[in-house]
């Protein structure tokens, strides 16, 4: 049960870090920031899998998660700019 709370806190922190790193305004709610951080963790794990091996579906540490979240946020921002 406590691991769920840990994932929520971790996801929020990573999502907020990614939003601070990427310049510009990202109109996202708190829930979207949470999911950005959690998805970024799995993207970082996938990048780690391609670089060093291991399991393709895994979470990543702080640095890998932040890198994954920034990549996702950049892709989302780029697709949003294309639509408008």
Higher pLDDT pick, 80 / 47: 47
Residue with tokens 């932040």: 66
pTM: 0.80
Give residue-wise pLDDT tens across range 39-62. 988 888 888 888 887 777 666 788
| Residue 83 confidence class, pLDDT cut points 50, 70, 90 | low
Domain ranges in the chain are: 2-83
Counting residues of the chain whose pLDDT is more than 70, the rounded percentage is 86
40, 15 Cβ separation under 8 angstroms:
yes
The answer, yes or no, to whether residue 4 has pLDDT greater than 80, is yes
| List of residues 6+ apart from 76 with CB closer than 8 A | 26
33, 12 Cβ separation under 8 angstroms:
yes
Handedness of CA 59, 62, 64, 69 (dihedral sign): positive
> What pLDDT, on the 0 to 100 scale, is given for residue 2?
85
């Amino acid at each position: 049960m406590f691991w769920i709370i840990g994932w929520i806190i971790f996801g929020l922190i990573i999502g907020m870090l990614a939003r601070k790193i990427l310049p510009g305004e990202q109109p996202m709610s708190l829930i979207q920031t949470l999911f950005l951080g959690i998805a970024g963790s799995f993207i970082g794990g996938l990048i780690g899998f391609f670089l060093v091996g291991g399991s393709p579906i895994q979470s990543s540490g702080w640095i890998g998660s932040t890198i994954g979240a920034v990549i996702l946020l950049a892709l989302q921002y780029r697709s949003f700019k294309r639509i408008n």
